[in-house]
Amino acid sequence: MRIILGGIGTGKSLVITKEAYEKSLEHKVLIITDNVKDTYQKLQLISKATDVTEITIFGANTFSQVMRYLIQNNGKYNSVFVDICSIGSDAFSEAKLEGFAIGANLDMSVAMQSSVYGLSGKVAVYEVVDGERKESKLYSRQDIQSILSELGVPK
């Protein structure tokens, strides 16, 4: 499982949508988000409006709704991406999601809002193994701007 941490407006949603698109080139993907329209728009930019039939987007606003979608759709998708502001970076939510991902043998990424010291304006991607976070990638503001520029989004 991957945790994507960052503050408000740092680019977590862009990072998670980009990852979801890349995985959709290999297999079926589910995105659970609290902002379906924004996610769909980002997906259209990233995919350059190509066919994204391997991606399903569900709208949810609470942790309970996320868990319900995961349980109801268990086995239908190879990768799940969760991008909901109300899921804070807390050990309880993280442990439940990690447990589900392990039990269902799912590739899962979860964006969580956080104000980690030293992370201001950045997005950090962590691999979670046996409950331990290991930083695997760090996106600076310039990295996020570069991604947006590649997609043709003006500054």
What are the pLDDT digits (tens) for 25-41?
Answer: 999 999 999 999 999 99
Cα→Cα distances 26→17, 22, 54, Å: 15, 8, 9
35/145 Cα distance (integer angstroms):
21
On whether the pTM is more than 0.75, the answer is yes
Contact 145, 121 (CB under 8 A): no
Contact 70, 100 (CB under 8 A): yes
β-partners of residue 135 are 126
C-alpha angle with apex 98: 113 to 33, nearest 5 degrees? 45
What are the pLDDT digits (tens) for 50-74?
Answer: 777 789 999 999 888 999 999 999 9
pLDDT for the residue numbered 20: 93
Domains of the chain from N-terminus onward: 2-150 (3.40.50.300)
Q: Which of 129, 128, 130, 148 is nearest to 139 (CA)?
A: 148
